[in-house]
């Protein structure tokens, strides 16, 4: 290969090579809607220009046009011919000019063999749905039509479309593929479609399959993420219903039968399939071509050595103004052109052929691969492109691929071979080993491409995986040994394997390839994302893997549920090298649940913690073996060893034993954690059933006095707990936001969306001002938490109107805060719209329905006006999450300057909002800031005849109190300070700065917060963190016993508060780990983990050489969760650091998150008070008083166990 090849290009080339691809078959499914603005000379000019531009494109010259023909419709109650009795919807005729215009521009697109014609239908405006569009036809339909009328109307429309298209292209249009308008095939989105018989109707009129997916509405996507067929049953989402028998297209399986409906799908979703450039997110994505190409090459479907790449677009979308000179279709958009040009370079480097093909050509390949070319020719498409254009060797190539795939599948299903001759077993083992090596290399290439395509993935992969991915294999020697041992000794039939802490899931995946049912647990979200990506890629290549492997995001056994274990199977628990915070915390619980399994394969030296000394490893092995008989050592390499334990009396060929009881009873034994969201998996269907049942109980019981309004009466009658737009928004939130993100919902109603989001792992506070709905929400919440107590703390309801009742739990909390407003059009929101938007500035983002915010906005002009007004103020539009007119949900990001201004005014409460509305036009905080700026920036430096006399210390103006974030502050002190050559003793302490009359000198300014009564330095100096990161002060000074004595005395002061049984101690701002060293010295056998958090990189390196667990950590800006798991620490010290961080209570909140319930945190803080005997130290920039201490429980959500004082400090012990 050329030595000058771009490294990123090389990675993309490697993806193709690792997948053994010889050809890329590229096809484009265009949602071709040329007449959306009418059929006339102008729009026809656009079609002609489309033809010219597409012919000139080397990538866009062969479209599969899913054509939406012009068929006018209107209301005419007087005519009945050709429609159901009572149906007033009429499909009209086109004028002679319109017939001519359409024929003249459409026919040339297909006559020259350039493009291929299929069908695209939008019927949402003339059939019933939940959007209830605001036009006369839709209003009539939703008021008067029936299911039978809708079906008859669509049936006649198919007939009309075939006639129109046939006349335009000059030949019969009787065999075609389909794309559904707004993606909602088979009533998959009731906002658009409620007709459940679409599949059978399409086939009756000549359609063979659908190419709508991947859908722009991701919740419509099928469960199978590969091309498949199903029976055309009349069911909602028939393609997902087991009764329809969905089957993936596979080698030689003859799935493409005439009586089965074909559906194209792939692991790549709509975000990476669309080449439309009218969308801002798409335009941003196109600026990172390698990232997009990595998704294409890794995620596209392959059959044999052919990779099938599908894109879609709306080339005639009205926004493109194709009829005007200078406009472009997507394939001619410069960034899209660059992407395809780069793809050609990749193909050249990889020696891969690139072909532009059509849907009919794709189907011909699939029929050959599937083995139905001869058997079901009646089901093959008859488009305008001759099949002779396919390569002459296509049949032999695909036949070879079938044979290869069959052999591979046969090997993958191999199990125990004890009856084989020794020589044959040796050959089998070698074949297995060779196959594993090939798969191992494939996995490395796939993961390497996935990780390298995103800097965040590279960061979160960590040194461990980055090192593995730099090699040519990722499977470790102990994993290979475990794999070979299981295959040789444990039959796949009747066995289910549960692997804990799988990382990227390599071993689990290979076990599934070998025929085993595997449940793979991973609690780290970034690694789980890699597992899902790898799983999808392998499932696309080996669809049988999808049924065998079940990835689970969550910690074991917290996320375990009975469905994951087979009462009719032997259940094997597998753990290899699970040394991490999460597993360390869960050791006893994991071991408790492990005793219920029939077989255990455990690395006894790396379970929770490392046990590298012989005695601890031996003792742990004995502990595990209780109730088991030690089977054998699976793998041994000093100091590590993996053992297989089998239950007493257990037999690999015998029936399941103890795990049947576990499957039935374990839920009552495990205390589920909230760490990874919902512990009770439920789909939207079961969630709806349960919520509707609760609503009926409420209305017939305690809610009898709070009868529902029209909306909730309608929801109950329709059997709807979540409206379609709420389902869409919930799905969008799950895809975009990390779990544990905090949400505040405005107008929660009975709380269905809040409960759903909490179940998905988010923290949700709902506000509801309507008395009846608020009472209903409170009751539903109480009942729901009684059923699912593990959701306690994740969801709550607050009666009252936002922003009067913004939850106090937001105050001082870290993390992202999102506000949601869905359908809030009551009188209060209508009259307080401005106040609501002002309060939202305290949040990070806002998700809002533009059509139902404050008042109804049913026209696009009204919604656009609101969005533009918000964009001009404090909200940056990010993306449109959902649209089905009139409902239009947008995601906005609060601009940083708005948040800063809001922070300067303090935490918004009902009182502060109302007060701000009622009082003077300039808020007090703004006035005080203006005064402060004038009193420093405009006065200093102060000059005299001899030059500068006084200058101000610090150059960073603080706009809000660092403790409470309030803006109600006033200037307090201006203190001249002179540095002394020798420190002096005052009140028992030493001071090297005192006020003098010597000039020139520096003025230190302190402000006072009226809200929390904190004194703080303002302005403060710019951050000195960069300098401190390189500090080695303590390494130079902590040399003798005398220097350690003070730390030992301080340790004795707080050690009495360390909880009994504590084994994990963490010190934040720990220097070189002085307190950790004292703790280890005082109780060397007590501590399982001693964790140090420190900004200085040299200190961290030193601690690690001393055997301490240390992390370079900026408490103001870094995410502690990346180092220390929530609720795993027993005791935390935070000594002499409170006043030196930017936001002290935020820092405490961050630390408390890692504390287990009942754990304690000790911190010190500078104070002022009537009994304080200390001079002001400018080097201590924050002083707190009694009010802060009294407010700590409310602000931090914890208990104050003890407070003592010295002449200058508080010593505080908190308990979680």
* CA separation for the pair 697, 479 (Å, rounded): 53
Q: Is the model's pLDDT at 402 over the cut of 70?
A: no
**Which pLDDT value is given to residue 385?**
32
Q: Is the CATH code 3.40.710.10 the one for domain 684-915? A: no
pLDDT in tens, 268-298: 989 899 999 998 889 999 999 998 999 999 9
- Tell me whether the CATH fold assigned to 7-356 matches the one assigned to 684-915: no
By 3-state DSSP, what share of the chain in percent is helix, strand and coil, each rounded to 5? 40, 20, 35
Question: Is the pLDDT at 460 greater than 90, yes or no?
Answer: no
**Contacts by residues 1198-1204 (CB-CB < 8 Å, ≥ 24 positions apart):** 1198/1152, 1198/1161, 1201/1057, 1201/1160, 1202/1057
**For residues 94, 99, 101 and 106, what is the CA-based torsion angle, rounded to 10 degrees?**
110
Residue range 897-902: average pLDDT?
61
CB-based contacts of 805, cutoff 8 Å, min separation 6 = 767, 798, 799, 910
Place of tokens 């089957």: 247
| pLDDT (0 to 100) of residue 397 | 28
821, β-bridge pairs = 746, 848
* Measured distance between the N- and C-terminal CA atoms of the chain, rounded to whole angstroms: 60
Which residues lie below 8 Å from residue 513, measured CB to CB, with a gap of 6+? 412, 439, 538, 542, 545
Question: Is 490's pLDDT higher than 50?
Answer: yes
Write down the pLDDT at residue 399: 35
Task: Kindly indicate the confidence band of residue 754, based on its pLDDT and cuts at 50, 70 and 90.
Answer: very high
Structure-token pair, residue 83: 């429609």
Residue bearing the bigger pLDDT, 535 or 708: 535
Q: What is the mean pLDDT of residues 951-960?
A: 86
According to CATH, the superfamily of the domain at 1025-1215 is Vaccinia Virus protein VP39 (3.40.50.150)
Whole-number Å distance between alpha carbons of 575 and 554: 15
Residue 404 has pLDDT above 50, yes or no: no
CATH architecture of 422-668: 3-Layer(aba) Sandwich (3.40)
| Contacts for 460 with CB less than 8 Å, ≥ 6 apart | 526, 527, 1122
Cis peptide before 967 (omega within 30 of 0): no
Say if residue 390's pLDDT is above 90: no
Q: Is the pLDDT of residue 699 over 90?
A: no
| pLDDT surpasses 90 at 623 | no
Distance separating alpha carbons of residues 1069 and 1164, to the nearest angstrom = 12
CATH 3.20.20 fits 7-356, yes or no: yes
Residue 431 has pLDDT above 60, yes or no: no
DSSP 750-816: TSHHHHHHHHTT-EEEEEE-SHHHHHHHHHHHHHHHHH-GGGTTTEEEEES-TTTT--GGGTT--S-
Asked which of 357-371, 775-789, 806-820, 1027-1041 is least confident by mean pLDDT, the reply is 806-820
Weakest mean pLDDT among 240-244, 538-542, 711-715: 711-715
* 3-class state of residue 483 by DSSP: helix
User: Does residue 678 register a pLDDT over 60?
Assistant: no
**Predicted confidence (pLDDT) at residue 391 exceeds the cutoff of 70:** no
- Cα–Cα distance measured from residue 709 to residue 770, given in angstroms and rounded to the nearest whole number: 10
User: Tens digit of pLDDT for each residue in 1061-1112?
Assistant: 999 999 999 999 999 999 999 999 999 999 999 999 999 999 999 999 999 9
Spans of all domains in the chain: 7-356, 422-668, 684-915, 924-1017, 1025-1215
What is the structure's pLDDT at 899? 61
Pick the more confident residue, 31 or 993. 31
Digit-coded pLDDT (tens) for 243-264:
999 999 988 888 999 999 999 9
Q: How far apart are CA 158 and CA 175, in angstroms?
A: 12
Q: What is the DSSP letter of 370?
A: H
Q: Work out the average pLDDT over 159-183.
A: 95
Separation between Cα atoms, residue 165 and residue 172, nearest integer Å = 8
Q: What angle (nearest 5°) sits at the alpha carbon of residue 686, between those of residues 682 and 690?
A: 110
Region 430-444 average pLDDT: 75
Reading the block at residue 677, the tokens are 């969201």
DSSP-derived 3-state class of residue 1109: strand
Q: Which residues contact 585 (CB under 8 A, 6 or more apart)?
A: 1125, 1127, 1128, 1156
Average pLDDT over residues 59-85: 83
- Mean pLDDT (the chain) is 83
Check pLDDT > 50 for residue 164. yes
For residues 657 and 618, the model is more confident at 618
Cis bond upstream, residue 1000 (ω within 30)? yes
Q: Are strands 742-746 and 817-821 parallel, antiparallel or unpaired?
A: parallel
pLDDT bucket at 811, cuts 50 / 70 / 90: very low
- Asked whether the whole model's pTM tops 0.75, one would answer no
Whole-angstrom Cα distance, residue 399 to residue 1192?
A: 73
């Amino acid at each position: 290969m050329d030595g000058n090849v771009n490294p990123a290009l090389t990675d993309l080339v490697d993806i193709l090579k690792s997948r053994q691809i010889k050809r890329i078959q590229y096809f484009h499914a265009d949602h071709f809607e040329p007449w959306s603005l009418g059929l006339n000379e102008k729009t026809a000019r656009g079609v002609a220009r489309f033809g010219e531009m597409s012919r000139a494109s080397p990538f866009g010259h062969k479209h599969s046009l899913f054509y939406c023909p012009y068929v006018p419709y209107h209301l005419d109650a007087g005519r009945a011919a050709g429609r159901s009795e009572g149906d007033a919807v009429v499909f009209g005729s086109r004028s002679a000019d319109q017939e001519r215009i359409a024929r003249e521009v459409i026919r040339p697109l297909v006559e020259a063999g350039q493009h291929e014609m299929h069908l695209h239908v939008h019927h949402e405006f003339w059939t019933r749905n939940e959007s209830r569009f605001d036009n006369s036809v839709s209003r009539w339909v939703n008021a008067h039509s029936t299911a039978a009328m809708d079906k008859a109307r669509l049936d006649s429309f198919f007939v009309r479309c075939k006639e129109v298209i046939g006349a335009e292209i000059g030949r019969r249009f009787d065999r075609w593929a389909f794309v559904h308008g707004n993606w909602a095939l088979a009533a998959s989105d009731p906002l658009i479609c409620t007709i459940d018989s679409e599949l059978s109707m399409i086939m009756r009129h000549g359609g063979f399959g659908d190419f709508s997916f991947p859908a722009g509405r991701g919740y419509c996507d099928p469960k199978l993420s590969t091309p498949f067929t199903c029976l055309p049953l009349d069911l909602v989402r028939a393609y997902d219903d087991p009764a329809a028998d969905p089957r993936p297209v596979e080698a030689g399986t003859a799935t493409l039968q005439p009586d089965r409906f074909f559906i194209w799908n792939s692991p790549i979703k709509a975000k990476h399939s669309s080449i439309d450039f009218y969308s801002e997110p798409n335009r941003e994505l196109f600026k990172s071509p390698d990232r997009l190409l990595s998704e294409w090459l890794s995620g596209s479907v392959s059959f044999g050595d052919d990779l099938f790449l599908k894109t879609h677009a709306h080339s005639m979308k009205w926004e493109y103004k194709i009829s005007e000179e200078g406009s472009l279709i997507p394939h001619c958009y410069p960034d899209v052109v660059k992407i395809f040009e780069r793809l050609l370079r990749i193909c050249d480097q990889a020696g891969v052929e690139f072909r532009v093909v059509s849907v009919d050509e794709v189907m011909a390949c699939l029929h050959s691969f599937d083995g139905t070319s001869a058997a079901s020719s009646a089901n093959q498409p008859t488009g305008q492109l001759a099949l002779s254009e396919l390569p002459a060797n296509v049949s032999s190539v695909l036949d070879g691929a079938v044979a290869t795939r069959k052999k591979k599948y046969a090997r993958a299903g191999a199990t125990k071979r004890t009856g084989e001759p020794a020589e044959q077993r040796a050959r089998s083992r070698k074949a297995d080993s060779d196959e594993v090596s090939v798969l191992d290399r494939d996995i490395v290439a796939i993961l390497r491409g996935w990780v390298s395509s995103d800097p965040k993935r590279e960061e979160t992969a960590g040194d461990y995986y980055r090192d593995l991915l730099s090699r040519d294999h990722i499977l470790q020697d102990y994993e290979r040994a475990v794999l070979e041992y299981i295959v040789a000794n444990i039959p796949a039939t009747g066995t289910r394997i549960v692997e804990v802490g799988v990382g990227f899931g390599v071993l689990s995946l290979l076990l599934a390839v070998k025929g085993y049912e595997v449940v793979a647990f991973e609690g780290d979200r970034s690694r789980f994302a890699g597992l899902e990506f790898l799983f999808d890629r392998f499932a696309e290549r080996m669809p049988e893997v999808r049924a065998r492997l079940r990835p689970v995001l969550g910690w074991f056994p917290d996320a375990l549920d009975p469905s994951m274990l087979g009462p009719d199977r032997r259940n094997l628990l597998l753990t290899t090298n699970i040394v991490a915070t999460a597993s360390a915390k869960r050791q006893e619980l994991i071991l408790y649940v492990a005793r219920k399994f029939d077989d255990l394969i455990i690395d006894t030296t790396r379970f929770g913690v490392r046990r590298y000394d012989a005695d601890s490893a031996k003792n742990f092995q004995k502990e595990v073996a209780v109730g088991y008989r030690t089977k054998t050592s699976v793998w041994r390499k000093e100091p590590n060893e993996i053992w297989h334990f089998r239950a007493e009396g257990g037999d690999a060929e015998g029936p399941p034993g103890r795990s049947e009881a576990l499957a039935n009873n374990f839920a009552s034994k495990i205390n589920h954690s909230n760490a990874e969201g919902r512990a009770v998996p439920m789909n939207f269907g079961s969630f709806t059933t349960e919520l509707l049942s609760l609503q009926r109980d409420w209305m017939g019981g305690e809610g009898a006095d709070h009868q529902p309004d029209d909306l909730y009466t309608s929801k109950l009658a329709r059997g709807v707990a979540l409206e379609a737009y709420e389902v869409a928004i919930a799905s969008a939130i799950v895809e975009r936001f990390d779990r544990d993100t905090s949400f505040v919902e405005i107008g929660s109603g009975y709380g269905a969306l809040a409960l759903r989001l909490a179940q998905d792992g988010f923290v949700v506070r709902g506000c509801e001002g309507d008395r009846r709905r608020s009472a209903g929400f409170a009751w539903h919440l109480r009942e729901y938490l009684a059923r699912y107590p593990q959701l306690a703390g994740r969801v709550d309801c607050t009666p009252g109107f936002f922003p009067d009742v913004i939850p106090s739990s937001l105050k001082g909390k870290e993390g992202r805060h999102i506000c949601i407003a869905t359908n809030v059009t009551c009188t209060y929101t209508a009259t307080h719209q401005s106040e609501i938007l002002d309060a939202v500035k305290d949040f990070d983002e806002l998700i809002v329905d533009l059509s139902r915010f404050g008042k109804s906005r049913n026209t696009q002009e009204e919604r656009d006006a609101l969005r533009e007004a918000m964009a001009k103020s404090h909200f940056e539009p990010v993306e449109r999450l959902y649209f089905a007119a009139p409902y239009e949900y947008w995601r906005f990001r609060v601009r940083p300057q708005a948040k800063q201004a809001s922070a300067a005014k303090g935490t918004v409460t009902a009182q502060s909002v109302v007060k701000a509305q009622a009082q003077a036009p300039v808020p007090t905080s703004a006035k005080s800031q203006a005064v402060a700026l004038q009193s420093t920036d405009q006065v200093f430096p102060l000059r005299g005849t001899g030059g500068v006399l006084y200058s101000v210390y610090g150059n960073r103006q603080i706009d809000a109190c660092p403790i409470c974030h309030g803006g109600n502050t006033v200037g307090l002190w201006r203190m001249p300070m002179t540095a002394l050559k020798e420190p002096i003793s005052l009140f028992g302490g030493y001071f090297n700065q005192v006020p003098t009359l010597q000039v020139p000198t520096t003025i230190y300014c302190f402000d006072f917060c009226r809200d929390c009564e904190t004194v703080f330095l303002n302005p403060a100096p710019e951050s000195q963190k960069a300098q401190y990161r390189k500090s080695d002060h303590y390494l130079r000074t902590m040399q003798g016993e005398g220097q350690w004595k003070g730390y030992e005395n301080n340790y004795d002061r707080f050690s009495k508060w360390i909880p009994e049984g504590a084994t994990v101690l963490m010190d934040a701002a720990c220097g070189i780990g002085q307190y950790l060293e004292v703790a280890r010295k005082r109780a060397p056998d007590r501590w399982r983990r001693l964790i140090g958090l420190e900004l200085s990189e040299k200190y961290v390196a030193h601690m690690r050489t001393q055997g301490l667990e240390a992390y370079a950590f900026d408490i103001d800006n870094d995410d502690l969760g990346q180092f220390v798991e929530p609720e795993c620490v027993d005791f935390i010290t935070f000594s002499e650091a409170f006043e030196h961080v930017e936001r002290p209570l935020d820092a405490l909140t961050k630390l408390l998150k890692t504390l287990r319930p009942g754990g304690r945190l000790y911190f010190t803080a500078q104070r002022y008070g009537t009994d304080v005997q200390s001079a002001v130290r400018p080097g201590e920039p924050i002083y707190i008083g009694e009010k802060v201490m009294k407010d700590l429980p409310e602000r931090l959500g914890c208990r104050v166990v003890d407070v003592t004082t010295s002449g200058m400090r508080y010593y505080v012990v908190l308990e979680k």
